[in-house]
Chain A
């Protein structure tokens, strides 16, 4: 087995969300890690230290209100603080789609991802739109706004390297956005059980440089089947 598989580090991320998600993750890892080692060590220490021996008698003690207050207040403050600290990142990732984002439509259905691009006129929902199957192409360093839709059942768009996950719900148009920071090929996965072919519902997210993306988009727009006269 690869010992790296046991790692508690987050895998490398390539979007602007990475820093925010990963730093919150590491903060929680520290808090829970310290709590874990402290409580388990105490548990083991007590088991060893106070195990039954001839003649030992337990202390007759019903508790202490002071300690109850302490160990209620401290976790409460830490947890609520953690919640408050996370609100900003959540709102940025799920609510505030930045201006100037490139808009595309991604439609999920059993068992494929269909990405619709605006074509040369730059507007979605017009005749020159073109589709690509199981691929999403996007430029680097530019926000991409995906209108996420589903045709049949629930699916979930999972872009692990971009720290993006969002269920696609039939009847809804759900905004998903991200901004990639490096060119390359990344994973598209489906994270919501969607039927027999769920496991095959994967694809490739390709992040191009701005120029390469323009070239790709124009080439694809030309390949688009022309409407019959």
Chain B
């Protein structure tokens, strides 16, 4: 191979076969795009499932428009149209949660942004293990296919909730779902391996492949958050995988880990699931916080306020996230003495989140705020995350939780964190790094229309769910009008459903903008946002191998509006004194540079 003679890592000179470039790709940027396209597809699927659920809740047991095209196992045909069956509703509840969490939000945050940003932001030519990275994506694909296929099997898709509590999930005897539940278990086990392989890669890359001068405390917060996320994945997924395999054995070969009739313990499943599941919650929010920090500092043209405490908050969440799982189980029958311990630890973990919010607010103080589309989404993240964080305090309080546990209050809470939080951050991230990924800008006016409508409709859908919960409406309930005290809530449910449909329809604007911009968007320069971090020092899109020569890092990532620079930014690669002829830097040699 002549390429070995090619000094400086100019791998882009030789031709890569089409299939290695686009399908079985090892380039981290292509894998990031693969994760993006697949997870955006699953986001659409998850949204469609939510739409059907909302139909049943807004118009209980009325014929669903278009329901006739679905099989009889899902819908009961009547002369007026097809009415949703309760078993299909339970599958919708289960699969909406599963698909959104595991196949949309998690791969968007970790698969897309982890792959795209880590090597570029630390100045590496690729991931530490590019082929392992390819394996990670190609394990996620069959997992997704299995999950979708479960809708077509006899008995339908899993219907025991995304949490699949035992014993309901241990046997089709209880749900009517046999193969569907097993496919659910197999699919998530495979997806778990995909995440594990990815996380090992991220951790190795961040530890070993930082460019000279890229010390830990010069790393952008997005990379910091993705690094801590990868550590959480590495430690949490094996717990889930173990639990999934035990449950699969209970289902298929007659073991009794979680089946009380043969001496098993149903609560063991909950402990294992939430011991994974609470770190998972932070896996789904930490990268979103990192993305928000990048966009916020850049578009506010101001250093992030309290960089070190932001890093400590991320690491603190990474530790505290392991000792709060019992707050999902206050009413589960777990020894109530533990309730108070978990309440206190949960209150403690709210503190790092609060620190981050205050630091974001302080970053905006005396800033120069550019309200373009990525910034609007990042600001929406902060605003909505405040609501999601505050509503969590109600449930963390054990006596109040007795009343609101398993009601729509928790449904509102999780959506303020995962949609208002994570998804707005994902929109911020996609619109911010789109020029780097595709070399073109997204359409700004269309992006603003999409943002405004999404923010309004989103709040009209999810805010009233708090109120439904306070009125006592249980979650995961097929027909709430069966309860006399809930029947008067139908108008509010109808209201939510109408705006849910509008919220879904609004996303068409994003899809149009996304695809139109890939082909027709205005050409993007190397650094359209005047950013400091390393990914903006390379062409858009970056070539294979990323950096033509090894970047040297001299300063932190958020040196915006520094007096040292004539402009309002100072890239991490600018040598001391390189910003202008003015102020000299006190330390001439960058910390951590080796000879």
Contacts and interface: CB of A to CB of B under 8 A. Distances in A.
A25 B400 contact: yes
A181 interface: no
Contact of B399 (A24, A39, A50, A187): A24
A174 interface: yes
B362 A58 contact: no
B470 A7 contact: yes
Given A58-B561, A170-B167, A199-B482, A90 B398 contact: yes
Contacts of B476: 193, 198
Contacts of B512: none
B358 A5 contact: no
A76 to B, nearest CB: 5
A46 B266 contact: no
Contacts of B479: 199
A57 B368 contact: yes
Contact of A59 (B90, B367, B484): B367
B483 A187 contact: yes
Interface in B441-465: 464
Given A82-B397, A83-B340, A192-B165, A198 B477 contact: yes
Contacts of A72: 309, 351, 354-355
B306 to A, nearest CB: 4
Nearest to A6: B467
B406 interface: yes
Interface in A209-228: none
Contact of B369 (A50, A160, A197): A50
A195 interface: yes
Interface in A128-181: 152-154, 156, 158, 160, 163-172, 174
Given A62-B305, A172-B333, A200-B482, A83 B369 contact: no
Given A191-B405, A197-B86, A46 B339 contact: no
A204 to B, nearest CB: 9
Contacts of A11: 470-472
Contacts of B359: 63, 68
Interface majority SS (helix, strand, loop, mixed), chain B? helix
B368 A83 contact: no
A121 interface: no
Interface in A20-76: 20-21, 24-25, 28-29, 31-32, 35-36, 39-40, 42-43, 46-47, 50-52, 56-64, 67-68, 71-72, 75-76
A21 B337 CA distance: 18
A192 B406 contact: yes
A83 B347 contact: yes
Contacts of A75: 350-351, 354
Interface stretch (B112-120, B225-233, B485-493): B485-493
B491 A5 contact: yes
B221 to A, nearest CB: 13
Given A21-B402, A21-B403, A58-B300, A52 B368 contact: yes
Nearest to B337: A95
Nearest to A84: B344
A118 interface: no
A126 interface: no
A153 B160 CA distance: 11
30 contacts: A8-B466, A17-B399, A21-B400, A28-B400, A35-B390, A39-B386, A43-B364, A46-B365, A47-B371, A51-B371, A58-B302, A61-B305, A71-B358, A72-B355, A76-B348, A79-B350, A80-B344, A86-B343, A86-B398, A94-B336, A95-B336, A152-B174, A153-B165, A158-B472, A169-B267, A171-B260, A193-B90, A195-B176, A196-B176, A199-B478
B175 A156 contact: no
A158 B386 contact: no
Contacts of A87: 340, 343
Given A11-B472, A28-B393, A63-B306, A169 B351 contact: no
Contacts of A196: 86-87, 90, 159, 175-176
B201 interface: no
Contacts of A153: 165, 167-168, 174
Contacts of A17: 399, 402
7 nearest A-B pairs in the assembled complex, by CB-CB distance: A171-B260, A79-B347, A63-B306, A94-B336, A58-B302, A59-B366, A46-B364
A193 B367 contact: no
B355 A71 contact: yes
Contacts of A68: 306, 309, 355, 359
Interface of B: 86-87, 90, 93, 159-161, 165-168, 174-176, 260-261, 265-267, 300-303, 305-309, 331-333, 336-337, 339-340, 343-344, 347-348, 350-351, 354-355, 357-359, 361-362, 364-371, 379, 382-383, 386-387, 390-391, 393-394, 396-400, 402-403, 405-407, 464, 466-468, 470-472, 474, 476-480, 482-485, 488-489, 491-492, 495, 560-563, 568
B482 A67 contact: no
A102 to B, nearest CB: 21
A101 to B, nearest CB: 17
Nearest to A172: B333
A81 to B, nearest CB: 9
A200 B417 CA distance: 31
A8 B379 CA distance: 26
B532 to A, nearest CB: 13
Contacts of A93: 399, 402
Nearest to B387: A36
A43 B174 contact: no
Given A40-B383, A93-B399, A28 B394 contact: yes
A149 to B, nearest CB: 11
A94 B332 contact: no
A164 to B, nearest CB: 7
A158 B486 CA distance: 13
Contact of B477 (A7, A20, A199): A199
A20 B407 CA distance: 20
Contacts of B303: 60-63
B387 to A, nearest CB: 7
A82 B168 contact: no
A202 interface: yes
A86 B369 contact: no
B351 A76 contact: yes
A164 B402 contact: yes
